[in-house]
Amino acid sequence: MVFLTGYSYWDNTPAGSAIIGRPVIHDVAGGVGTYTDPVTLAVGWRIYFGWHFEDFAPGTRFYIPRLRKYAIVEDLCGDGPKPQSGPCHIGWNGHTWLDIYVDGSTMTAEVADHCMEQFTGVQAVVINPRPGYRVVPGRIVENNCKVF
C-alpha cells in the first residue's frame, strides 16, 4: 500500500512545464500507462553528505490498479536543501508516497486538480510488475481521469 498523489503540468517544478529530474524513457514527464510507455512517477529523496538518494531508483516500474496504468520513476518529489524532511520522503501515515504525472497541459489547472483529487489516497500498487496487466492507455487528465 502506498499514498498516491498526482502532479500536473501546472504544479510541476517549474510550474507550467513537464521537466523531470531523472529521465529514463522520457525526456519530459509523460507516458500513456502501458508497460512500454509507462507514466512518469516522482518519488521522495534525501541528501546525505552532499549525495542525492532517491527512495526508489530511477527506472523502477509500478503498476497502479486503480488507474490501470504502469508508471516509472523518472522524477523527484519535494525540493529544497532538506527534501528528506518533506512529506514525499517521510510518507503519509506510514505509507510510502508516490506522485504520478497526470499531464493536464491541454486543460486548465483546475481540471487537473479535480482529477488528482479523485485518486489521491492510500491504495495498492505492484512494484516491479510483469507486463500484461490491464491498462487504459492515455494521459491521465486528458483521458477523463478514469479511476477503477
Q: What is the pLDDT of residue 52?
A: 79
Parse the chain into domains and list their residue ranges.
2-100+120-127
Rounded CA-CA distance 113/38 in Å is 21
Q: What is the pLDDT of residue 87?
A: 76
Cell 536543501 sits on residue: 81
Q: What is the pLDDT of residue 83?
A: 55
57-88, pLDDT tens digit by residue? 999 999 999 999 999 999 999 766 665 666 78
Give 85 or 127, the one with higher predicted confidence.
Answer: 127
- From the CB of residue 9, how many other CB atoms can be counted at a distance below 10 Å? 22
Q: Is the pLDDT of residue 56 over 80?
A: yes
Note whether 98 and 4 are within 8 A (CB): yes
99-108, pLDDT tens digit by residue? 999 999 999 9
Q: What is the pLDDT of residue 94?
A: 86
Q: Which one, of 133, 9, 145, 148, lies nearest residue 63 by Cα?
A: 133
Q: What is the pLDDT of residue 88?
A: 82
